[in-house]
Chain A
Amino acid sequence: MDHFPNYWGMPPQESFDRYNIFQDKTKNNAISDPTTNTKQPIVTGTSVIAFKYKDASFGSLARYREVERLYPVGEYTVLASSGDFSDFQYVKHTLDKIMTKEYYTNDGHILGTPHIYEYLSQVMYHRRSKLNPLWNAFVVGGYHNGEGYLGYVNLLGTTFQASTITTGIGMYMASPLLRKAVEGHEDTLTEAEAVDLVEQVMRVLYYRDSQSINRYQRAKITAQGVEISPLLSAPTDWSIGKDLRGYQ
């Protein structure tokens, strides 16, 4: 039954209906309107970069103001997102739910990085197949069975694993830098070198990606678990600017 007397056969009162706490059912009502799906992202974040190095995998990203886009899932996994922020929040919530269920089942089994990655990939592909995508590119990084693990999945459900992964504009600009530094050196790259590499790549992204600001976070995942850094900035040098000619 309809519990709102306003709806009981009253003709619409143009003069006061729009001030009413009850919505006119015939106008702009979430229940009666046709179903709509996301056609474009709204609040977005830019690049994520990630790579493997000696006994760990490593994630990082440029930030959108103070908004965190690195999120730990369980003890050995970090989820990094670029793209729509509300969809990222939804995914965080969903993953938290399944991790909580894992925890209270209490049988010695906890979803590891590959399992979380598979689940997320299935969710992403399923949503694209309903033509109602989660507008993100995700990187899942972690440490599982003595090895670093990195996986990518995006709004189409496209997946791949590699020793270096980037998203967004970073796919154009950071990929070559990372591949050159990391591929073939996954077992020898030290943590200090990895930290330097992140800073170098973040600086390039800040210089060239107009959507970015110079704030990023870095996650490190090792056998000891997840460490997410506080806010970082890459030192930049704009002194060349005064010598530029022709752009006023």
Chain B
Amino acid sequence: MGFDFAHLMELIPDINKAFFQTIYMIAISLVVSTVIGLPVGILLYITDKGLFLENRMVQNILGFVVNMVRSIPFIILLVALLPLTNLLVSTTIGPTAASVSLSVAAIPFFARIVENALREIDKGVIEAAIAAGATPWMIIKDVLLLEARSGIISGVTLTLISLVGFSAMAGTVGGGGIGDLAIRFGYYRYDNTIMISTVLILIILVQVIQLLGDYIAKVVDKR
């Protein structure tokens, strides 16, 4: 069975719905992972050895938790977090439920990316700010976040693209979205038309995200 255009037309409403479910899932998880992951990433960095809020205990505990979540394969995390999902959103199926696991997986991912982006900053710039008598908050806001802005935006792009991949996996446990469609039609029913269409949609989505992310990262960088 090859590509059947008429069949595709028939399923346009389904594809459309799945597409927006995917967008919905990644949007929620992106917001949650950014809001929580950014401060976690900053904390991981500034509590490190030789930095202005050095604190081995915070650094170790935080690092351990982050690594722990990151070491669990997403497909397992998805199932393991079902009780938590049920508690938070009172359901375990559908895009909203999938967003919980997606967020939990994306927070440590994004936090590490933020930490890495901050490591790229020349330590001398931070030192100059300390020498100028700046408060820790000023250093975080005016030096760290500003100097790493471009890197953090690239990190958001990376996280978004990973979320697209993860969200497709969420489809396997009834999370909805493009991945769900691809599995139900493309895999279970050998529906190549749907398979090809969903793959194309994902390719285009990822390309658009990457181009946009690169563009913004470049525009904001004053170096």
Q: Do they bind each other?
A: no
Which residue numbers of A lie inside 8 Å of B, CB to CB? none
Interface residues of B (CB under 8 A from A): none
